[in-house]
Every structure is written in structure tokens, then in C-alpha cells.
Chains A and B, each alone.
Chain A
Amino acid sequence: LPGKASTVAGATTMEKATSYEDVTSYNNFYEFGTDKSDPVAYAGKLKPRPWTVEVEGLVNKPGRFDLDALLKLAPMEERIYRLRCVEGWSMVIPWQGYSLAELIKRVEPQGSAKYVEFVTLADRQQMPGLRSNVLDWPYVEGLRLDEAQHPLALLAFGMYGEVLPNQNGAPVRLMVPWKYGFKSGKSIVKIRFVEQMPRTSWNLAAPQEYGFFSNVNPTVAHPRWSQATERRIGEGSGLFAKRRETLMFNGYEAQVGQLYAGMDLRKFY
């Protein structure tokens, strides 16, 4: 899945990319199990084709998008993003995709649309993790419309120049680099434009720990993981590598800071 280097500001970090091996074998995808080694072990049953994404709600042009139509909707770009997990680890990953804004533009949101809700696949036949009740399935995430329209918010179809591996959210996922990883839903089946703030899965499960915004923020501590620092996976000598300082908005403050002007980010964490 080739893509041209993106021209979007901030879309290409010069930092060293994490190894493909680590990115595909260590991640969270609860539909396949709660352990970070579960996705690679159990995602084999996921069928990323045929696939459709339903776009509905407060838009003038709702519709069902076939995967092939989505792939051709806009030119593929390569973007190299930092990924910061809420658990205190991070990676650097090259993605292929295009700005979510491209899709939003085509479906024409109505004036009353304030938020975008993303619903991801929940099929027991393909996803053994759904048997556990750690979350209310399907997994739901959301963004404010202006966040979703920001050029850095990426609709990703590939990784490292290849189509997305199942365990990383095939065939289409979101990648919002200035927010904690769980905000970026995998294997998306539905995108809804709504007026009210969506009730997102992690926010419902533990509201005091996971806010709707969940921007990467080293100054707002999480009761379980320090958010001031992070461990970059695969960096240096592994075990003895020093943790890095976590950057405000994961280092994308220059690009996205204005979205939150005047907001108390301690309150809206």
C-alpha cells in the first residue's frame, strides 16, 4: 500500500520508527483479549474483506462506503506519527492513509453536527475477546467535529507500506496522534455525526480515569500510570532504557493546541 510523504504540518516525525515486530506483537485490542500478546495471537480470524463503513447521522450525504471506495476516496499519504498509550509506553509508526477530513468533507455534515462517533466491529465469530465483559461492546470512541476535521486526524489503511495487519485494526482505523492510543478506534464499521458528546467505551467504564478528550498531557496524572514520562518501546538496551519525558499533546501542540484554547485541560482530561 504505497503512499506519498504527507505535506501536512507535523505529519512526519524524524524519530526512529519502532520495529514492525514490536508494533505487530505488542498492542491493545480488547476484542481479541486483554493481554497485549492476545491481538497477534487471535486476530487471525478477522476477515477484513469484504468490508463496509456506514456513515450516518447529521450529514447531507449519508451512505455505506465499500472498502475499495474508501481506498480510492483520496490519495494515500505516508505519515510517521508518535503513538502514546495511556499505559505509559510509546512507539513511532509509519501509517498509510489520508486525513479523516477528506471523508467528512464528502458527506457534508449539517450545522447541528458537533461530534463524530466511531463504532468498531463487534463480531463474536471473529473476535474471541468479546466473550469477556471488560467493556460494553461494541467499542465506541468519539471526537469533537473540529478535532475530527483536523488534518492530523488520520484514517489509516496501512502501516509500514503494507495493508494494516488484523491485530492493528484492519482494514480501516483511526489514528489521532495527539491523544492517548485508545481514542483511535480499530476496525471501524460505523461513523456517526451527532449533536451530543458520544458516550465512549472507556469513559463509561471508568469516568474518573478516562475523559472524553484524553489528550496526551504529562501534567494530568492517571491513578495507575505516570503520564509525565513514557517508555519508548524497543529503544536502546530495552530493559535499561531510560524513560522519556512525555510531551504536551504528544509533541503536536504547535498543530493542535489552538483546538483547546481557553479550555481547562485538568477538568476536560
Chain B
Amino acid sequence: MSRAEVQRALLHPLAKPLVFTVWLLPFAWLVWAAVADRLGANPAEALIRALGDWTLRALVLVLLVTPLRVALGWPALARFRRMLGLFVFFYATLHWLAYVWFDMGFDWAEVVADIPKRPFILVGTLAWLMLLALAATSFNRAIRALGAPRWQRLHRLVYAVAGLAVLHFFWMRAGKNDFNEVAVYAAILGTLLGWRAWRRWRAHQGRGVSSRI
């Protein structure tokens, strides 16, 4: 497929509804599995973990948008960034709610006591609050109200979210010394953030050189 064809496909009116539907499938599957009792012996644990996994996957995808857009020259990819970002928030919210509901039985006093007691829950909650701020300012009027530069600075919080999400996952698995999956996510997210750092550094260098010439 040529670049123009990709570009055309990405701009197709059905492209967004398609991505939207695809990203709702995990949710639909989990709801079905919960109702049909297909989540195994410990359905609460299975549900909470699956929602956490999908949050991480959505996070990887949203952070992949810009590197792919630049590296492959597919500017139309940018159209999907907000929707994918909101899916990160969507799955993170379900993940957190599932914890509050199925682990804590909606006992808010328990939740408040539990969050500082378990570091990995504290870090996860912190990441979710950051996502909440990003989701709350995700619409066009918010960009205008904040002004683009300030809005952009705020939305760089997603890099912090990526770091906290990996730390959350790492601490959760640390009790069982089981880091294989954590390492995979850390490597992917690290590469995606590293690419951004490298690009900034290079732009900075470039500017320095040109001003000297």
C-alpha cells in the first residue's frame, strides 16, 4: 500500500467508527464473560487484571501514534489520538472501579484506608487521577480555554502516566517475582518515550547548529 493509499484509508469516514468498535470489543467480551461466568475460579481477580491489561495496551497504542505518524509519514494518524487516549481513560476507570467494587465492596472508608497502605494501589490511583485531568480537558473548548501551549504542557502528563503505570504493574508483580510481562511493557513504553526524548534533543542540537551558522 502506498503512502497515499494509507492516508486515504485513515481519512475514510468509517475509519474512526471502526477503531472505536474494535476498542470496545474487549469491554464487550469481558461483560459477556462476567455474565456467562467464564472468568474462571476467581472472576473478580480475572476482571480487574484484564481491565488493567487493556489499559496498558491502550496506553501503548496512544503513545505509538506520534512516532508512527512521523516515522512512516502518515499525518492522518493524528485523528485517532484523542479517541485512543480516551480509551486509556475508559479502561483505567473500569479497572479502578472494578477494584473499588469487587475488591472493596464499595466501602469507601476501606478504599481510603487501603490506598496509602498498598504502594502499588497508591501509584495506580495517582495515574488514574492524572488521566482524569486529561480526559476532562480533552475536548476542543478546553484547548481554547487553556490556550494550546498550556494545554499541551498539561497533556504531557501522559508520559508520567506511562511511568506510573509501569511502576504500578512492577510493584504488583514484585510480590511474586514475576517480571516478564512487566519487562515487555516497560521496554515498549520506554522506547516510545525515549524516541520522544531523542527527537527533542536532536531538534535542540539542530537549532544550536543553525544559529551558529
Closest to A18 in B: B41
In the bound complex, do residue A239 and residue B120 qualify as a contact, i.e. CB atoms below 8 Å apart? no
User: Which residue on B lies nearest to A28, using beta carbons?
Assistant: B176
> What is the interface of chain B mostly: helix, strand, loop, or mixed?
helix
Residue in B114, B119, B174, B177 whose Cβ sees the most chain A Cβ within 10 Å: B177
Q: Of B12-20, B43-51, B191-199, B201-209, which binds chain A?
A: B43-51
Instruction: Tell me whether A222 and B175 are in contact (CB under 8 A).
Output: yes
Inter-chain CB contacts under 8 Å: number = 62
A149 contacts the other chain (CB 8 A)? no
- Give the bracket for the number of chain B residues in contact with chain A: 20 to 34
Q: Do residues A224 and B44 form an inter-chain contact, with CB atoms below 8 A?
A: no
Docked-complex contact A239 and B47, CB < 8 angstroms:
yes
How far, in Å, is B119 (CB) from chain A's closest CB? Answer: 6
Q: CB-CB contacts of A126-148 with B at 8 A, as 1s and 0s?
A: 00000010110000000000000
Residues on the B chain within 8 Å of A226, using CB: 114, 117-118
Q: Is B34 an interface residue, CB under 8 A from the partner?
A: yes
Report the bound CA distance from A240 to B102 in whole Å: 6
Give the interface size class of chain A. Answer: 20 to 34
Top 8 nearest A-B pairs by Cβ distance?
A26-B41, A22-B41, A134-B177, A224-B175, A34-B178, A239-B43, A238-B43, A233-B41
28 contacts between A and B (CB under 8 A): A21-B41, A25-B40, A26-B41, A26-B42, A36-B41, A36-B42, A37-B40, A89-B45, A132-B178, A132-B180, A135-B177, A206-B174, A206-B177, A221-B117, A223-B118, A223-B120, A223-B171, A224-B172, A224-B174, A224-B175, A225-B175, A231-B42, A233-B41, A238-B39, A239-B34, A239-B43, A239-B44, A243-B105
